[in-house]
Amino acid sequence: MGYAYKIEGGSKLSGIVEVGGAKNSALPILAATLLAKGRFDLENVPNLKDIHSMIELLAHFGLEIHWENPNHLVIINPGLTGIEAPYNLVKKMRASFLVMGPILASERHSRVSLPGGCAIGARPVDYHLKGFEKLGAKIVIEHGYVEAKADKLVGTKIILDFPSVGATENIMMASTLAEGTTILENAAREPEIEDLANFLNAMGAKIIGAGSSTIVIEGVDHLHGAKHRVINDRIQAGTFIIASILQGGSIIVKGAVREHIEKFYEVLEKMGVVFTEIDEELHIEADLKNLKPVNIKTMPHPGYPTDLQSQIMILMAMVNGESTVAETVFENRFMHVPELERLGAHIHIEGHTAFIKGGVEKFSATEVMASDLRAGASLVLAGIMAEGETLVRRIYHIDRGYDKFEEKLTKLGAKITRVRLEDEV
């Protein structure tokens, strides 16, 4: 028994939509509260499934957590009661692996279940582990668990093979309590990394350079409680910006931060979209019929984000001319393509590139299935632009990362309802 979205396409959307807090910032920040005893006040935390999974994991280690207000989370760390993150908690979400660095740093010993497979690629954790090893930890992988032990962690130079977001976060957290200075090179530069570093610094860490390719972490003896406001969700902002363009610009997006997705804005401007920011409100001018096709390539930040790849594909399918999407971050992130084809899009894939033949005036409603979180959101956008009734299955993916998605869309005028299905997972 599970849920699906039933969408009656064709409604005109308009109004203001507000962007919530970033899931991908909040998750590592929550994990970082394992580093020190004390009270943590976190604001702008989205209330969604992945956050609940992380809360459950923190509670497993003895942390006390409650919502003070709808988006204000209070976490009290009275000292960890264990060092092991079991499979049943880790398997729900890959980002659970982010507890490994903080526990290793605070307890000098941690044991975390391997996260397992994922629909959008193998997504191993080898870069994380290489980093811990460089800091002096001994790593043993057996029985599906990674165990890391160290008498002490010692700062050193670590060069990442690839600017992995998770590895940068995990290694940065582990280094905060190491002896001496860690220099992390080829680090990921995503805004979420900077947000985590700001939080760690508020806890007493000494980190400079986060947001650039070289991060310098001077180890400290201890960390303490802190207050922090999580940045807004740039992927959610991007999703609503696409929704607005599809509607000819009638949706105003509040709380989008251009610098966090500069490349995304540039691509849309190249297509012919005009953005005007008034205070915190983003006004969008776009005429679907006159937008130009475009070629994009997903890259680590500041490149075009892979998490906004499936959403722009909906736009590409409707704009006249041929567009392309080259996916370089994940090896298997075109699982939404067959679903889009079922809705009437013309796309073919060669290797890591999708060729999208545009010009669809209206998608043709049908039953489709979300394959991951962002793909799910793009199917909803297509459903809104379809003629007839679309059923989007497996929306547990969407629930993982979009706070009040149907509520926000309904407020804008979409006809979208959550339905319970006997045969849904």
Catalytic amino acids?
A: 118
Helix pair angle (405-412, 373-384), 10° resolution:
20
The whole-angstrom separation of Cα 194 and Cα 29 is: 11
Smallest distance, ligand UD1 to C-beta of residue 396, A? 16
Closest of 178, 88, 86 to residue 131, by C-alpha: 178
Q: Residue 40 or 127: which CB sits closer to ligand UD1? A: 127
Burial class (CB in 10 A: 0-12, 13-18, 19+), 163: buried
Closest of 372, 384, 234, 220 to residue 318, by C-alpha: 384
Q: Residue 94 or 394: which CB sits closer to ligand UD1? A: 94
Q: Residue 117 or 180: which CB sits closer to ligand UD1? A: 117
- Measured from each CB, the residue nearest to ligand UD1 is 166
- What's at 70, amino acid-wise? P
Smallest distance, ligand UD1 to C-beta of residue 217, A? 18
Q: Residue 400 or 408: which CB sits closer to ligand UD1? A: 400
Six token digits for residue 33 = 């509260």
Q: What does the DSSP assignment read for 152-197? A: --B--EEE-SS--HHHHHHHHHHHTTSBSEEEEES----HHHHHHH
Q: Residue 13 or 379: which CB sits closer to ligand UD1? A: 379
Smallest distance, ligand UD1 to C-beta of residue 91, A? 15
Instruction: Give me Rg for the CA atoms of the chain.
Output: 22
Going from the C-alpha of 26 to that of each of 8, 41, 235, 247, the distances in angstroms are: 33, 12, 14, 30
User: Starting from the edge strand earliest in sequence, which strands make up the sheet with 274-278, in order?
Assistant: 15-18, 251-254, 281-285, 274-278
Query: Which residues make up the interface to ligand UD1 (CB under 6 A)?
Result: 24, 27, 94-95, 121-128, 162, 164-167, 188, 192, 306-307, 329-330
Smallest distance, ligand UD1 to C-beta of residue 165, A? 4
Smallest distance, ligand UD1 to C-beta of residue 333, A? 8
Q: Residue 31 or 345: which CB sits closer to ligand UD1? A: 31
Smallest distance, ligand UD1 to C-beta of residue 115, A? 9
The whole-angstrom separation of Cα 389 and Cα 115 is: 36
Cα 17 from chain centroid? 19
